[in-house]
A and B are shown apart, each in its own frame.
Chain A
Amino acid sequence: MSSAQETILELRQVTKRYQTRGNILGRGKKEVLALNRISLQVRAGEIFGLVGESGSGKTTAGRLIVGLEKPDEGGIFLNGQDIVGLQGKALRRYRRQVQMVFQDPYQSFNPQVSIMDSVGEPLLTQGVAKGVEREQMVLAALKEAGLSPAESYAFRFPHQLSGGQRQRVAIARAMILEPSLLVADEPTSMLDASYSAQIFDLLLGVRGRLGATVLFITHSLASARYLCDRVAVIYRGNLMEIGPAQEVIRNPRHPYTQALLDATPKFGRCEDIPRFNTLLRAERPAADSGVGCGFFRRCGLAQRARCSMEAPEFRAMGEGHLCACHYAEPGPAQADQGGECHLGA
């Protein structure tokens, strides 16, 4: 599995800022730091999870990676090539390698376009196939996405499909150009649990059969735990913890990841799972903006003198497990309890 270790996607010190609009006179404009010097590497063939709450910047990261927006600073590299400045033909070639599945299956389709034409559109715009050949490829892609018999779906319109079926169509559309990287932004957050499980299986198949790399953006530790090889946890634009999915979720070292696990609803045999209680009930007043730890205001472990003044560096907590916290310590792995404790979405 040497190929599994090659880096396919790299973010190097990526920063993105947004301006809020302010009032009608342009007063009260604020700058929001959506991503703060994010660096990470995704390996070819893995499913990499980017986990965060709303406002964490995880969707912004996805949009930068597929080229829908540009970072203010830093570089994004696919197979070693910087994609930030791409234009024209080069950008189009890039789009063929990187595709995206969006969160809302009810808004990501044109209601007046049939499934056949929706899924087949990338083939036309990229000049890959047309006519009968195109139809054959669409049918094959629908079948691959678990919609069979494909013929019975191809000539329907989006409103005739359920949410789960639409998300399958979205994956078929994204995969029809056989991209090397699929960015999936919360593809199951609007689906019921049993349909989510179907989409997870499909994504595992996309990686397994087609050899694609998947960047899976999610708010849910449960789905990251099920689907991902490695995860990065992000909070208000700052990377907090990164490592093997099992390890980070079962033995979180960063107080923020610990707070996320505490808050995740659970059922089944969960009485052995300890609570970390790392979250402050009320936020602290802000430290001087820009310096210090991004989690300072909510963190129960923070010491003002250090955490408000000095940004924590990543330190190793275990094999490939990094954590950006001054006070995190590598500890003994939790015994393997939790095998029958189910996590909610």
Chain B
Amino acid sequence: MTLLDVQNLSIGYQTAEGLLQAVEGVSFSLEAGQSLGLVGESGCGKTTIGMALMGLLPPNGRITGGHVLLNGRDLRELTEEEMRQVRWKEVAMIFQAAMNALNPVQRVGDQMIEAIVEHQPVSKAQARQRVEGLYQLVGMPVERIDDYPHQYSGGMKQRAIIAMALANKPKLIIADEPTTALDVIVQDQILQETKNLQHEFNIGIIFISHDISIVAEVCQTIGVMYAGQLVEIGGAEQVFYDPRHPYTKALVASFPTLAGERKELKPIPGEPPHLINAIMGCRFCDRCPRSEAQCKLDRPAWQQVAAGHHVLCDHC
């Protein structure tokens, strides 16, 4: 069953210089219990999409086109009050640097109990019981429930945030760079934990990261974003074994390999375009080794390169 269906989504920010088109024409869908990774570099629009799905765009941001269907219901048509019911209960988000999202002067357990009581018809005692269960679930000692955030290590804070995202049993979790500030060993443990929880509770996950390798550890489907657009989407194996879009190829090649000759990494020359200006043709053409004169003028079209594997490029 399709859990989330995003169709032709466009999002803009009103800025002093005019409307900045941060996301344009992005479409993807997610089946229940599946995971989709959105990768791309700073400013490509991946976090903006996450915020839009949560209905948490900043005041100067708005959805300028397209639809976001969650279990068939268009989130754009909900009132703020209805959205508040959806948020955390049906869709939860693990923010970037979420460890700083905990209130420093309130015990961690109390913060979680509050989050549960807010959305569920349960007593505080029942909520506390559920929090104890959640602690066990994410591999944290239950006796730490009454500690304050500063008594936790970075990894423990992150686990607490994951536990909080799970508290209301959402069907969809949006994880935006959930492990960025952590050491690799802790990161690995949390990624494995996330995978286990996802399977156990059949949760759909949208995993947002600038680091391909992290997304590759967790997700079945990968979408690569560049300058506000999705440019390639397919199964994780397809996208990473056989990348087709020149940007994906360059991105993959900028990660060193474990063995073999020390291949020259291929830095991508130049910088992404400024999105304040309307862009006619392909957004990557100025940095693309294969671009032709026509690429600058024609809006590229989606091509299917294999079953379930699509690229936004006319020359791939």
Task: Bin the interface of chain B by size.
Answer: 35 or more
- B58 is an interface residue with CB less than 8 A from chain A: no
- A223 is an interface residue with CB less than 8 A from chain B: yes
Q: CB-CB < 8 A to B255: which residues of A?
A: 193, 222, 267, 342-345
A interface majority secondary structure:
mixed
- B258 close to A263 (CB less than 8 A): no
Task: Bin the interface of chain A by size.
Answer: 35 or more
- A53 is an interface residue with CB less than 8 A from chain B: yes
> How far is A270 from B257 in the complex, measured between Cα atoms in Å?
10
Given A226-B265, A268-B252, A273-B258, A193:B184 Cβ within 8 A: no
> How far is A220 from B212 in the complex, measured between Cα atoms in Å?
15
Instruction: Determine which of A193, A220, A265, A339 lies in contact with B257 in the assembled complex, contact meaning CB atoms within 8 Å.
Output: A339
- B258 close to A192 (CB less than 8 A): no
> How far is A265 from B266 in the complex, measured between Cα atoms in Å?
20
- A265 close to B211 (CB less than 8 A): yes
- A6 is an interface residue with CB less than 8 A from chain B: no
> How far is A122 from B66 in the complex, measured between Cα atoms in Å?
54
- A329 is an interface residue with CB less than 8 A from chain B: no
> How far is A273 from B257 in the complex, measured between Cα atoms in Å?
12
Q: CB-CB < 8 A to B308: which residues of A?
A: none
Q: CB-CB < 8 A to A114: which residues of B?
A: none
- A336 close to B259 (CB less than 8 A): yes
- B185 close to A337 (CB less than 8 A): no
Q: Which of B106-114, B213-221, B298-306 contacts A (4 or more CB under 8 A)?
A: B213-221
Q: CB-CB < 8 A to B256: which residues of A?
A: 222-223, 225-226, 342-343
Closest chain B residue to A263, Cβ basis: B188
A177-218 CB mask vs B (1 if < 8 Å, else 0) is: 000000000000000111111101100000000000000000
B310 CB to nearest A CB, Å: 19
- A262 is an interface residue with CB less than 8 A from chain B: yes
Given A226-B256, A340-B257, A267:B240 Cβ within 8 A: yes
Q: Enumerate 18 A-B pairs (CB-CB under 8 Å) in ascending A order.
A: A53-B183, A192-B210, A197-B268, A201-B265, A226-B265, A246-B259, A249-B258, A263-B188, A264-B188, A265-B214, A266-B213, A267-B212, A267-B240, A268-B241, A273-B258, A339-B259, A342-B257, A344-B214
Interface residue ranges, B against A (CB under 8 Å): 41-42, 183-185, 187-189, 191, 210-214, 216-217, 236, 240-241, 250-252, 254-262, 265-268, 271
